[in-house]
A = this chain, B = another copy of it.
Amino acid sequence: MKDGEAPKDKVTAIGRTLLFSGLTSGQLEELASHASERRLWKGEVLFVAGEEARGLFVVVQGAIRAFRGSGGREQVIHVEHTGATIGEMAVFDDGPYPATAAADEDSTVLFIGKHDFQQFLLNHPQVALSALKLLARRLRCHAELVESLSLREVGPRLARYLLAEARASGFRSGRGLQVELGLSNQQIAARVGTVREVVSRALSRLQQEGLVELDGRSLTIPDELSLEAFCQDC
């Protein structure tokens, strides 16, 4: 159904990533020549936690989620959209992939083999600096996540998620900040670190308290500051 959006050219896709931005088009083409494309259906698994790393992936189209936990419940660690990379860390230290990656929607990715990448890294040291920035940023997210999971209860965790989501992809209207929730309660639960039912209830409570308004899957935050306050003091 998304055939209208022709997959970007390999080079453009690679150049968009934080990791490879700033390279000349010649360098990008060099990389692209080693990259192979792969399409994934929603839910298809790209690699599994613990598996030996074969290389890294560039998300050309769609979204890939990295998560842990096998049976039943899972915890999403991060989600990468178009123009991001996934599975990089594993190529830096030859270790196994730290999490399982699967397509959150129909996606297409580029694969760059570990050795090709490592070779490229040696020839183009500035990429290492981008990589450091990337990892540093990711580490910061993880620290946030750890704090949330350990120190905050579900209500505030959910509130934070909604706030972040709304700020990232919502829009302001007269009634407040609005977003279309792209995820099912199940998926939200996996991000926030709990289960479907608890998300459902927590959402209801936020509504009762007047902190959010929910109509179908579209959410309105009448007053950002109240919601923010609610995040803090729990």
Interface positions of A (Cβ within 8 A of B): 49, 68-69, 73-75, 77, 89-90, 92-93, 95, 98-99, 121, 125, 128-129, 131-133, 135-140, 142-147, 149-151, 193
Contact = CB atoms under 8 A, between A and B. Distances in A.
A131 B89 CA distance: 11
A151 B90 contact: no
Contacts of A135: 89, 92, 132, 135-136, 139
B139 A68 contact: no
Contacts of A133: 92-93
B73 A151 contact: yes
Contact of A69 (B125, B129, B131, B147): B147
A106 to B, nearest CB: 26
A95 B193 CA distance: 26
B137 A95 contact: yes
Contact of A128 (B68, B77, B99, B128): B128
B77 A146 contact: yes
Contact of A93 (B95, B98, B132, B147): B132
Given A146-B68, A146-B75, A149-B146, A92 B125 contact: no
A90 to B, nearest CB: 7
Contacts of A143: 49, 68, 77, 98-99, 142
Q: Closest 10 interchain pairs by CB?
A: A128-B128, A92-B132, A75-B150, A68-B147, A135-B135, A98-B143, A142-B142, A149-B149, A89-B136, A150-B193
A125 to B, nearest CB: 4
Contacts of A121: 129
Nearest to A147: B68
Among A92, A139, A145, residue most surrounded by chain B Cβ atoms (within 10 Å): A139
A147 B133 CA distance: 24
Contacts of A150: 69, 75, 149, 193
